[in-house]
Structure 1
Amino acid sequence: MKFIETFIPDVKIIEPQVFGDERGFFMETFRTELFNQHCGERIFVQENHSKSSHGILRGLHYQTENTQGKLVRVTSGEVFDVAVDMRKDSKTFGQWVGVLLSAENKRQLWVPEGFAHGFYVITAEAEFVYKCTDIYNPSVEVSLKWNDPTVNIQWPLVDDKPPLLSAKDESGLAFADAPTF
């Protein structure tokens, strides 16, 4: 596996080595020793799988307790995946990293604890799989407004149409009002 630095040093792109032939392909998607060497020691306690349709934006989510690091990847389709640094003492506080993840490029993104996370579905549908370092606790979940002008994420919206959001994400907090770490 190849671990690629991003603009925010703690957020990493992980590219597997893919072995393919006429029968299909094989790739290793996770190895504890390599992950811990490049991203810091973590124990994953939960894995989730979601399916979303074209134009859906999920996020930007984080938890103020049971803070989750997430190792994310797409098994079908393509998404634009985003991590926003919510750590007030960080040099990259309030900045974001966006990466295209797809079943085709097989990339993963490591989003450490202390980041808001979300993704936008570019293809007709996408399936998204992610490992978490802590359990999901909806009572302490925060939704950061997807289009907050302070953060200014450059979402690749198809035909400049607004994304489809859940009620929770529709009423997300402005960056200035959101809890930080």
Structure 2
Amino acid sequence: MSNATQPQNVQQMKPIIFLDIDDVLCVHRTFNTRQVLAALAGDETVDADEVWQQIFHPAARENLRALDEEFNPIYVISSSWTLHLDPQQLRETFQQTGIGFVADNLHQVPFTPRDEDSYRLVEIDAWLDTYLAPTLSQAYATSYLIIDDVVSGQSLLGSHLEDRTVFCDAWTGFTYPKLVTARKILRGEMN
């Protein structure tokens, strides 16, 4: 194997995490994308420090950090937040909220294709078909995991992607038991 292809192969070995935001990281009943956009714009009607401290649940952030430290994944955002924030705004949000590792490891195509009428199964399948399909002929050179919630991810239930999905509960987020499930899925795929 030449050195020129080695970085690409190393990149392919990293798992991909399709990450939803609402009810996975953002479980706060008052803070949402409106407050994030206002904080990013420097709008003085919102307390930016409070937004950055409270928008994402601390335990969900720490559980995602633990998963990141163990598997060093690449992230693709599969969330309604992508209808409101562009990639740079999401990167800044991740940096401001203490999960800069997500911003630092976003895929070069960081969002699943999404519109007002799409649903998660179609969005993730479209992304996989476009960006992962070339590696599928290499016996799943890249593993992947979906972290979603039972509401926005309901199309994943009973689908061919269900076994690769961690379903978070509404208003609860990415809890420690969900982290355990995520680890099992990724360890199973990488063996």
The two structures have a TM-score, normalised by structure 1, of 0.27
The two structures have a TM-score, normalised by structure 2, of 0.26
